[in-house]
Structure formats: C-alpha cells, structure tokens
Amino acid sequence: MKSEDDRFRAFPAFDDPALARIASKRHKLGPAAEALFPEAHLSHRFVRALAARKAVSLKEILESYEFHRRVRRRVRRRVVADLCCGHGLTGVLFALHERQVEQVVLVDRRRPASTRLILDAAAEVAPWVTAKVRFRETPIEEAALPAGAGVIGVHACGLSTDQVLQKGLQSGGPVAVMPCCHSSARRHAVSGLREALGTRLAIDVDRTYRLEAAGLRVEWTSIPVAITPMNRVIIATPRGGDASAPGPPG
C-alpha cells in the first residue's frame, strides 16, 4: 500500500503502475502528452503546450509539479525565488497556479534555451505568467532577494542546497528544497551519524537541526520515488507566521 507521500498529487493517474513505470523517463515529452494529459484544466493544458514545444522531459514535469503541490501552501509569498533553477519550470508553476504570487525570480548562472520554450508554453495557456517571471543570470550567493520571499531549490547539487537554505534564512521567509548529490556536502554531517544513518539521511538531519536552531519549523515529505530516488523534500517556515505572507493558505 502506498504512503500518502508516495502518491501522485498533481497527476493522480500516474498512481497506475503502468504509468508510474514511465514517470522517470528523461526523453523530451512530445505527442504522447495528448493521451497522458487529455483533460481541459490548466495543468493538463500547460503540459500539452510544453510537449508541443518538446521543452522538457516527462520526469522534469512530474518532478516540478509534485514538488510544487507539496510545498505551495507553505512557500507561496508575494515573491517566490527559484534558486539554482535550471530551466525554471518549478518557479514558473508558482506564477501559473498561485494568484497570490506577484513575482517569480528565477536564478541560475546561465539561462538555458529551454526556459524560453517553457515561458512560451505558459504564456499560451496563462498570459498572466509573462509579467510575473524574471530570470537573473547570477550565482546564488550574489542574488538579492526581498525580505520575506519564499525560496525554493529543486535538486540544487550538493552544497548548492545549503546555499539555497542560507538565502532562505537571509530573506526571513519560508524555504523548501529537494536535495541531491549529497556526497559533496558530506562534511556538514557528523561522521557518527553518517556511519549510522548513511550520508544522505545524516546530511538532511544536520540541515534540519540547523534550520530549527535558526528559528524555523521544519517538515519532511517526499515526492513519488517512481520519479526519482532523490525525492526527499525539506520545508522550513518561520515560527509564528510572516508579515509578508499573502494570508492563510487556501
């Protein structure tokens, strides 16, 4: 029996084992999207628009949507920053689906060509996205974020996840990450914990303690392992609320 975290929340059809088997496919999604995402609501229309442009893979679509679905109520603020964003799909989902989000800042060292394809697909089905999204080509450590911004980082490799968390702490708002490539961040975990728990778990435990010590409330969840084995999601929110928040989550 599947746990609640291992269920597909954005696209429940992928709980079908036959579809779950293709959830990690890395080839660019194309005509198959018409059958996989046939419905009229916004998320399906956006995926079909992405597929028409062969913008990203099925894995990246499911990864971004399932992460967004798990963190959206905790992280959405008037400004959301997607750090180490790559093509920026996850950040774009906040501009697409969250009315309270007025600006999305995508930050990475370079802007890949797929970002334009994603933004064009979003503009086709949701014209309001264009005015909300800005891409900044800069290292994380040089990115200036407004106070109270919601900060996310999806598979920011190794120590880059810790930089995302630090930016979240500096902004004073909520932060959510889905770490990967833990081996390059191993020095942050006590050796005894690494030996007892394994490197990945020990590092994320250490991150959790650091966030709690900084005054945040930390939750763990995950996206379906069928998409990626690096599926742990860490969500940290300010205790007692945040004046910059858009109001109670819907």
Compute CA 119 distance to the chain's CA centroid, rounded to the nearest angstrom: 17
pLDDT digits (tens, 9 = 90+) for 1-28: 467 788 999 999 999 999 999 999 999 9
Percent pLDDT > 90 in the chain is 83
| Residue 183 predicted with pLDDT over 70 | no
Poorest-pLDDT segment among 9-13, 51-55, 204-208? 204-208
pLDDT at residue number 247: 38
pLDDT at residue number 184: 58
| Residue 233 predicted with pLDDT over 60 | yes
pLDDT digits (tens, 9 = 90+) for 64-101: 999 999 999 999 999 999 999 999 999 999 999 999 99
CA 169/CA 238 separation, integer angstroms: 9
247 SS3 class: coil
pLDDT digits (tens, 9 = 90+) for 113-161: 999 999 999 999 999 999 999 999 999 999 999 999 999 999 998 889 9
As a three-state string, the secondary structure of 158-195 is CHHHHHHHHHHHHHCCCEEEEEECHHHHHHHCCHHHHH
CA 151/CA 172 separation, integer angstroms: 10
Do residues 154 and 177 lie in contact, with contact meaning Cβ atoms separated by under 8 Å? yes
Sheet holding 232-238, edge to edge: 133-137, 103-108, 79-83, 150-157, 175-180, 232-238, 216-222
pLDDT at residue number 246: 47
Q: Other CB atoms closer than 10 Å to residue 126's CB: what's the count?
A: 18
CA 37/CA 3 separation, integer angstroms: 24
Mean pLDDT, the chain, whole residue set: 92
Picking from 103, 17, 122, the residue whose alpha carbon sits closest to that of residue 64 is 122
Q: Other CB atoms closer than 10 Å to residue 104's CB: what's the count?
A: 26
* Token digits of residue 165: 């968390």
Q: Which CATH superfamily is domain 12-238 in?
A: Vaccinia Virus protein VP39 (3.40.50.150)
Please report which confidence band the pLDDT of residue 249 belongs to, taking 50, 70 and 90 as the band edges.
very low
What residue segments make up the domains of the chain, in order of their start? Answer: 12-238
Compute CA 153 distance to the chain's CA centroid, rounded to the nearest angstrom: 6
Specify which residues 57 forms β-bridges with. Answer: 28
Q: Other CB atoms closer than 10 Å to residue 180's CB: what's the count?
A: 21
Do residues 33 and 27 lie in contact, with contact meaning Cβ atoms separated by under 8 Å? no
Compute CA 96 distance to the chain's CA centroid, rounded to the nearest angstrom: 14
